[in-house]
Amino acid sequence: MSTEASIDAFKKAQELIPGGVNSPVRAFKSVGGTPIFISEGEGAYLRDIDGNKYVDFVQSWGPLIFGHRDESIEAAVINAVKHGLSFGAPTEAETELAKLVVGFFDSIDKVRFVSSGTEAVMSAIRLARGFTHRDDIVKFTGCYHGHSDALLVEAGSGAATFGNPSSPGVPADFTKHTLLAEYNDIQSVKKCFEDSSDIACVIIEPIAGNMGLVPADKEFLHELRKLCSENGALLIFDEVMSGFRASINGAESLTGVKPDLVTLGKVIGGGMPVGAFGGRKDIMSQLSPDGPVYQAGTLSGNPVAMAAGFAALTKLKKNARVMTVLEERAKTLVNGMQKVAADLGIAMQVDVRGSMFGFFFNDKPVKNFSDAGRSDAEMFAAFHAGMLREGFYFACSLYETGFISTATTDVMIEETIKAVEKVLKEIKNG
């Protein structure tokens, strides 16, 4: 497999773009080698600028539930573009998509659209602070909620402590109101509430996708809901990644836990940049212009993005059974991978939620970020490189989640498992 064109393109990009990429994980730092530069996608496939073809298990990190260049979504975008790219004024398309989103989630009475998941989370936290008149927030180690200052934190000396900035450029004063707890550990959350009586909200990925796929235990989420209610704090489910991927009705439908606010993205944009946050009417009424909590954006509710999202969610609503099919294929994939690994004496942990799947080269179940960090990173890097050579495109970090699209066929799954066996044998035999 030749990647000369990608190597050359990466060199040129590095001269003009920091690290040669516009989002760090794309640089292949954790897996080695040169990032693949893509020329086009169609269905379940990607093609790079060298002409290599790959079965795509990333699907733009989640939004392409119907694969690349879905005809109905593509047609909706083209039609919207013919009427204008952006107006900075209300359109009926915003209301139509809002009605769809609200109809899927019991916990959402009203929703506001923004342009990214980061913006959705940042705005939801501001709203929670404005609603409760409190300053502190609780987040979990290993959960990623975008790159806003208050959320770029690392752990301090204890299991539950005020966070320290994890990136230069983030003042300590911006993170001093962020407390860190351990995912799936309710005692660490209780410690946060013991340390502070000023907690506005607890934000969590109920199905974490940014430390690999690590779902929260149902019992843990129920206890978390109880703690928030008892202490007057809001519970925010960050479903930017898992929304409409793990379930079309949100994590609340899988866990029985109802959050106060939900953040969304990915699928609701159908491949276009869209984010959203929504929740109870009394909370959302505090948002400007109805209330005092300010949030605005020129491209929020962009008509092209709204058209793509409406087409994607409408198609998903009409074909809800597809979620079961996607989950079955995801399970077939990871169970096949795990069996191949076990036959070779290689430890592998796997999990599936809807059309999301994850795997770790780890001899113990992964319940939190510390567990994920004990996975074999060298094995993953070798596996990633080997699968690329075989024509299969997996996420370029062991801390990311994989995705099945409706364009991913049973035959592709079988071919993937065969390639996994070949690659793992090569790694095992040195």
Active site residues: 144, 238, 266
- Which residue, 296, 298, 315, is CA-closest to 67? 315
Query: Which residues, listed in sequence order, are joined to residue 207 by a DSSP beta bridge?
Result: 215
Q: Is the dihedral of CA 418, 422, 425, 427 positive or negative?
A: negative
Tokens at 228, concatenated? 């928030």
Query: Which residues, listed in sequence order, are joined to residue 201 by a DSSP beta bridge?
Result: 137, 234
136 vs 338: CA distance, rounded Å? 42
349 vs 130: CA distance, rounded Å? 41
At 49 the three-state DSSP class reads: coil
Q: Which residues contact 100 (CB under 8 A, 6 or more apart)?
A: 310, 313, 314, 317
262 vs 279: CA distance, rounded Å? 6
138 vs 330: CA distance, rounded Å? 32
**How many angstroms separate the first and last alpha carbons of the chain?**
20
35 vs 9: CA distance, rounded Å? 9
Q: Is-contact 416 392, C-beta < 8 A?
A: yes
168 vs 73: CA distance, rounded Å? 40
Q: Is the dihedral of CA 66, 97, 246, 204 positive or negative?
A: positive
166 vs 70: CA distance, rounded Å? 39
Q: Is-contact 171 333, C-beta < 8 A?
A: no
Give the full edge-to-edge strand order of the sheet including 261-264: 110-114, 275-279, 261-264, 234-239, 199-204, 136-140, 178-181, 161-162
